[in-house]
Structure 1
Amino acid sequence: MRDFFLAEEDRSFRAEVRAFMSRELAPKVDAIERDQDFGAQLAIIGALGETGYLKLMFPDLYRGALPKPGLTHAVIVSEEAAFLNYAFETTVATALSCAYPIHRFAQEALRERYLMPILEGQSLGSICMTEPTVGSDSAGMETRIRFDEGTSEWVVSGLKRYVSNASKADVYIVWGVTDPYVPPQKGLTAVLIPAGVKGMSFPRLYDFMGRRGSIVGEVAMDEVRVPEENLLGEVNCGFNIMLCAFNFERVILGGSGLGVARAAFEIASQHAQARVSFGQKLGQKQLIWDMIAQMSWKIDAAELLTHRAAKMYDSGIDGKDLMREASQAKLVATETAVFCADRTVQILGGDGVTRQYGKAEQLYRDARTLPIVGGTSEMCKYLIAARELPSIRLNL
């Protein structure tokens, strides 16, 4: 039985979300993939806001039927969205990844101004971490954030790349160095920058092989100024915010991977039962049912790890105490998505690489992004091993 870690109310919620996605997202997936119609995504996000699904992560703001909403339910939304279209799920997950640190670390006035529009589906958020020379290695971050005593403003300069919702977001969370003379973990700070401020620009938007319809690009900041109250948390405490944000993002990505993997598996299993080759159903051949079996157990393993991490978070576990489990969820679910998409294409043969015969080739392109975004598979393995080998310092 799948959904092993879910209670009956969680399963009922999944059915509700699946019906919503079938009604609102399914009719628009072709426009998002083929025409890269971002307007279609915005319309669905508005509908998501009306349902209250974007508030699931924030029990103090949620007003729906679930007695104990949380990350478990946000993962379900992510999975069901990615099952139909991973590009749309990326847009939503990025907005939630921005809302999370605002809710947890922003001052009350900042929360009131910027958080609710995101959670009501009226605006988009974005997070800015990666730089031209910095991915997982935050020690090399070159973006600088300084405080101007004369104007009581934070001044931000730097270039971020691979920023989802770049140029489309209304709010950006930006990490930068405030103290270059201490270890990186003690000198990073995060600030909130609203769209439209002087000095912010978007030099380039990327054209990816997958996730067609999502907007990803560069965000440049040249002496961008924001008020003192736009600080998140405390000065030089941005690394802890980043760690918590990564945990959140990685568990959500577990849901993304599950959705893509399930979509591929459904195509493969149906084809294996319908296609006749050499007088037999394709699924009767050992090489094929071996692939089906591997996809099945990998999806189950990914689901168990993802739901475990989500349930742990909902019980109050976060930071370094969740780092291992969040990394395992992200690693296994995203690698499973790649495996399932690849094997599905192989099982379908020529139909698997042809757009005219279904979406297998789209899933193949979409899935390949998953082991890279939100922390590569290699970084996830490092974080897992670091927790398992506490007495030694691993070499990155």
Structure 2
Amino acid sequence: MELLDESVVPEHARDIKAEAREFAEEHVAPVAGEYHDSGEYPWEVLEAGMDAGLVAQDIGEEWGGRGLDLYEIFAIAEELYRADAGIGLTLMLASFGAEIVEEHGSEEQKEEFLRPIAENEQITGLAVSEPETGSDLAGMQTSAEKDDEAGEWVLNGEKYWVGNAVEADWLTVYAKTGDSEDRYGNFSMFIVPTDAPGYEAEHIPEKIGMRASKQGHIVFDDCRIPEENIIGVEGAGFYMLAEFFNHGRIVVGGHGLGLAAAALEEAWDFVHGRTAFGRDISEFQAIQHMLADMRMEFEAARSLNWRAAEKVAENENAGFWAASAKTKSTEVANFCAERAMQMHGGRSILQERRISRVYRDVRIPVVYEGANEIQRNLIYRQSQY
């Protein structure tokens, strides 16, 4: 069964897709269960991904990357998540947020901070969510105040669910810098080194899924950074993130598709060759209908996601298409995983089974990059365009 075929993939993205598949088969799949059980950070796999040219390579060639476009990053995501979502997320989070610096940062910021990411000398992350505020970007409370005398910004507050909060060399941080009636114009983006005074981070307790990826809780206690570490102009942070998440949600759609493919493959392999009541399980019409439904939903989601990738790349009502692709693909992953668990019967709950790992992993992408309930708000509001 070949689910992630290249027929819907633009021709220029097929080579990198093949590279990602070969890497996933050699370096990710064989150790996925081990890292899921241990919950350790997969440094060795990350370094192998860097050597393979698959980490942080959407950064432009002028800054040391390969300049991979949205289609190519999406193609990588499908393949990595099919092999293992936790390790796949680690590889993709190593440069998460750096694209904001490339798009809006100064030449000096790009040379000092962006180039080491592209050249795989450092890793980074993006700090947006807070303990009491999830998807409401205009409701975040972490503040950044200007100390003109010292020539610094002073950050106070907390961030939660931050990938690489402990492991990163620096983060892109979203903080409140104003208090005007325009709640969307009150936020800015900053580069915050993780060794800055007043920066404290710890790992969030173990998750049920994607255990090879580490998220953290950050406390900023009069955390001081140079005034030149603001990205772009003050007050533009919300709009920077909105643009960034349109691209990110296409890639998260790839996360869902990779997981859905894994669930479908596991279900197909399990029911063909296993007997019950004197018959091969695959001969039961109920099983055939379940597999048919899974396949139809998967193909519908994948077609939507690749169409959405084109729309976002061309900036044609990008918010609608990004939200639609992310929502459909991640929910199809849940649909496929739940039915695959049912087909596995009692064996589905065994820790050693790949399907049990997939079942836990699929619960996470429906929440990150904006919960799917928020995506439906966006889909409705932007359907008029």
- Mark the runs of 5 or more structure 1 residues left unpaired by the alignment: 391-396
User: 1:102–1:115: 8 Å Cα contact kept in structure 2?
Assistant: yes
Cα distance in structure 2, aligned partners of 1:329 and 1:339: 15
Cα-to-partner distance string for 1:139-170 (whole Å, 9 max, x where unaligned) = 32111111111122111111011112221111
The secondary structure found in structure 2 opposite 1:264 is helix
Q: Which residue of structure 2 aligns with residue 26 of structure 1?
A: 29
Asked if 1:44 is matched to 2:45, the reply is: yes
Cα-to-partner distance string for 1:266-325 (whole Å, 9 max, x where unaligned) = 01011122211222221221211111111111111221222223233434x27xx31111
Q: Which residue of structure 2 aligns with residue 109 of structure 1?
A: 108
User: 1:56–1:70: 8 Å Cα contact kept in structure 2?
Assistant: no
Assess, with a 3 A threshold, how the Cα gap between structure 1 residues 264 and 61 changes in structure 2: closer, same or farther.
farther
Cα distance in structure 2, aligned partners of 1:287 and 1:377: 30
Of the three residues 349, 353, 358, the one matched with 2:349 is 353
User: 2:49–2:91: 8 Å Cα contact kept in structure 1?
Assistant: no
User: 2:98–2:172: 8 Å Cα contact kept in structure 1?
Assistant: no
CA RMSD of aligned residues (A): 2.1
Shift of 1:62: 8.4
Shift of 1:138: 2.2
Of the three residues 4, 17, 20, the one matched with 1:17 is 20
Of the three residues 332, 338, 341, the one matched with 1:336 is 332
Q: Which amino acid is the alignment partner of residue 10 of structure 1?
A: A
Q: Which residue of structure 1 aligns with residue 149 of structure 2?
A: 150
The secondary structure found in structure 2 opposite 1:175 is strand
Shift of 1:100: 1.0
User: 2:201–2:217: 8 Å Cα contact kept in structure 1?
Assistant: yes
Assess, with a 3 A threshold, how the Cα gap between structure 1 residues 56 and 313 changes in structure 2: closer, same or farther.
farther
Cα-to-partner distance string for 1:243-264 (whole Å, 9 max, x where unaligned) = 0121122111111111111111
Q: Which amino acid is the alignment partner of residue 127 of structure 2?
A: C
Normalised by the size of structure 1, how large is the TM-score? 0.91
Cα distance in structure 1, aligned partners of 2:148 and 2:199: 22
Between the two proteins, the alignment pairs up a number of residues equal to: 382
Q: Which residue of structure 2 aligns with residue 369 of structure 1?
A: 364
User: 1:99–1:119: 8 Å Cα contact kept in structure 2?
Assistant: no
Q: Which residue of structure 1 aligns with residue 286 of structure 2?
A: 287
User: 2:56–2:92: 8 Å Cα contact kept in structure 1?
Assistant: no
Shift of 1:56: 4.1
Q: Which residue of structure 2 aligns with residue 128 of structure 1?
A: 127
Cα distance in structure 1, aligned partners of 2:55 and 2:215: 21
User: 2:130–2:158: 8 Å Cα contact kept in structure 1?
Assistant: yes
The secondary structure found in structure 2 opposite 1:222 is strand
Q: Which residue of structure 2 aligns with residue 202 of structure 1?
A: 201
Asked if 1:326 is matched to 2:327, the reply is: no
User: 2:256–2:365: 8 Å Cα contact kept in structure 1?
Assistant: yes
Assess, with a 3 A threshold, how the Cα gap between structure 1 residues 174 and 303 changes in structure 2: closer, same or farther.
same
The secondary structure found in structure 2 opposite 1:135 is coil
Q: Which residue of structure 2 aligns with residue 302 of structure 1?
A: 301
Asked if 1:211 is matched to 2:206, the reply is: no
Shift of 1:61: 4.2
Cα distance in structure 1, aligned partners of 2:214 and 2:68: 29
Shift of 1:223: 1.1
- Mark the runs of 5 or more structure 2 residues left unpaired by the alignment: none
The secondary structure found in structure 1 opposite 2:173 is strand
The secondary structure found in structure 2 opposite 1:355 is coil
Q: Which residue of structure 2 aligns with residue 164 of structure 1?
A: 163
Shift of 1:192: 0.8
Shift of 1:59: 4.4
- Structure 2 counterparts to residues 379-394 of structure 1, below 5 A: 379-389=374-384
Cα-to-partner distance string for 1:348-371 (whole Å, 9 max, x where unaligned) = 001111124x21111111111111
User: 1:59–1:70: 8 Å Cα contact kept in structure 2?
Assistant: no
Cα distance in structure 1, aligned partners of 2:106 and 2:20: 32
